[in-house]
Chain A
Amino acid sequence: MSKFVEPFSPTIMETKVSEQFIDTVNAVGNDVLSSDTKSIQYDWSHKLVGKVSKEIQIPIPKGEDRQHVLSTMRNGCVEYLNYIIDKNRAYDWYKKSGREKRPTVKNIKIDSSWIVSQYSGEYNPAHHHNGDFSAVIYLKIPPKMQSELDVEFKDHYPANGLIEFMYGENCDMRSDTIKYKPEVGTMLIFPSYLKHFVYPFYSEGERRSMSFNASIVI
């Protein structure tokens, strides 16, 4: 009986966030993005590489909704880290905590989070993030984008509106890139060093996503 081992590539965790999460972040996003004054006040674009007209911080008021959002982000990172520990690849965690201890949400510090409000033709060139974990969560997809994607996926090389991750270079019998189609509620958690791109789309309306960076703390 043969055994196949695939120990080398970085891991991406795919999961879903709750309706409460989406509604909370969208409500704050709507409030900031619809106001020129607040869009400037909470502007985060100077920290980001995107050719995107509005990238803002997310000033969620203190309360249960804020706790739910933070808890979702931290729990996602804990789940990710536990998986990596099971894979025997959590080197920084072992160094900080030893091999026996398991992480809790107290070990996850959210360093920054922001909303990317993207419209037709806007894009993100290759970049990576800071910290240990990074994530993208899809909050809004333009109504006509699905039909654009349906056409796009009949193409030999679909790309419009997708996020693409890359690691290493092309070699035979291994993968070096992966693309994801944005779907509302999907959260992807990945190591912050994983380079990625967001390709433009051409439908009317807003493609809204949220990202965050998080670090392990002891």
Chain B
Amino acid sequence: MDQPKQKLLVMETMPAIKIGFCQLMQRDVDEINDYIDTNSHRLNDLSYSLVGQIKQNPKSAQYEFNLDDPVPQKMGNLFAQLAKEYADNHPLSPEIRNNIGPIEDYHVKKMWSVHSYAGDYNPLHEHGTVSGRGVSMIVFLKVPPQIAELEPSYLENNKGEKGHKTNLQHGNSGATDGVTQFVWDAYSMYDVPRFKHSPFANVYPQVGKICVFPIWLLHQVSPFYGEGERRTMSCNVDIINHV
């Protein structure tokens, strides 16, 4: 049989995970940073309940936002909307989507900031909500330049001689310093030629970037080196279960 000249296959993607992205305006980033800097003295210290190993600098901290304050309230409305959009993008039947609930059922129950300095890191963890349902988010509020430059150098220069992507994580490159790494599923090198998809996703910090992910998705943040603060805020959006 002659080799067909045109491609025969139509490929369909059945995703294992979805991560949503959104870009916050600089003025909103400034407003959140100002809220934290102005109110940190009265915000709860979450260091004793979160998994983050955030303690290498006197300024290393994890603060719980007061959800009655205006700035967290405003951000909470945005995060609930992003969570609803995330849910709407998930491939569910209309009946199941209706069962999950309208946006009024999406509630931000917890919001906190993480102030990391050189050597601070977050070991592997997932998030949780009261209902066991929901979506989590990370917002990057401050990113030291040595971390910010990783994304362009990884994406634009990540080419070998033949134009193939090389793995910049190898060779003590620092390509994952300060990077949020999502990990899921089982995978081995035997899975490469049987076409299983890689279960790693690196999210490179950039100021204003919002990353939306399901609460069950395990992730970790590697330490970084040098000057500067890596500041993020996170929240869990609970979806109230009426059943």
**Residues of A that sit less than 8 Å from B by CB:** 45-53, 55, 121, 123, 125-131, 156-157, 159-160, 164, 166-170, 176-177, 191-193, 195, 197, 199-200, 202
Q: Are B189 and A47 in contact (CB under 8 A)?
A: no
Q: Which size class do B's interface residues fall under?
A: 35 or more
Binary A-proximity of B107-142 (CB < 8 A = 1, otherwise 0): 000000000001101011010000000000000000
Whole-angstrom distance between the Cβ of A116 and the nearest chain B Cβ:
11
Binary A-proximity of B16-57 (CB < 8 A = 1, otherwise 0): 000000000000000000000000000000001111010010
Q: Are A164 and B123 in contact (CB under 8 A)?
A: yes
Q: Are B200 and A126 in contact (CB under 8 A)?
A: yes
Say yes or no: is B206 at the interface (Cβ < 8 Å to chain A): no
Nearest B residue to A194 via CB reads B186
Say yes or no: is B152 at the interface (Cβ < 8 Å to chain A): no
Q: Are A157 and B172 in contact (CB under 8 A)?
A: no
Query: How long is the Cα–Cα vector from A183 to B126 in the complex, in angstroms?
Result: 28
Q: Are B126 and A169 in contact (CB under 8 A)?
A: yes
For residue A157, which residues in chain B have a CB less than 8 angstroms away from its CB? Answer: 50-51, 53, 123
Interchain CB contact (< 8 A) of B181 among A45, A125, A199: A125
Whole-angstrom distance between the Cβ of A115 and the nearest chain B Cβ:
14
For residue B56, which residues in chain A have a CB less than 8 angstroms away from its CB? Answer: 202
Whole-angstrom distance between the Cβ of A72 and the nearest chain B Cβ:
24
For residue A128, which residues in chain B have a CB less than 8 angstroms away from its CB? Answer: 187-189
* Chain B, interface SS category: loop
Say yes or no: is B174 at the interface (Cβ < 8 Å to chain A): yes
Q: A126-B181, A176-B218 are known contacts. Are A156 and B124 too (CB-CB below 8 A)?
A: no
For residue B176, which residues in chain A have a CB less than 8 angstroms away from its CB? Answer: 49, 51, 125
Q: Are A193 and B53 in contact (CB under 8 A)?
A: no
Interchain CB contact (< 8 A) of A197 among B124, B187, B188: B124
Q: A156-B49, A199-B121, A202-B119 are known contacts. Are A50 and B183 too (CB-CB below 8 A)?
A: no
Query: How long is the Cα–Cα vector from A160 to B55 in the complex, in angstroms?
Result: 11
The 7 closest A-B pairs by CB, nearest first: A193-B188, A159-B123, A46-B171, A49-B169, A157-B51, A125-B176, A126-B183
Q: Are B48 and A156 in contact (CB under 8 A)?
A: yes
Q: A168-B185, A200-B223 are in contact. List 9 more A-B contacts (CB 8 A).
A: A48-B171, A121-B225, A125-B220, A167-B186, A193-B186, A193-B188, A193-B191, A199-B123, A202-B56
Q: Are B119 and A200 in contact (CB under 8 A)?
A: yes
Q: Are B220 and A126 in contact (CB under 8 A)?
A: yes
Q: Are B172 and A45 in contact (CB under 8 A)?
A: yes
Say yes or no: is B7 at the interface (Cβ < 8 Å to chain A): no
Give residues 57-85 of B contacting A (CB, 8 Å). Answer: none
Whole-angstrom distance between the Cβ of A62 and the nearest chain B Cβ:
29
Q: Are B189 and A166 in contact (CB under 8 A)?
A: no
Q: Are B124 and A192 in contact (CB under 8 A)?
A: no
Which of A121, A126, A191 has most chain B Cβ within 10 Å? A126
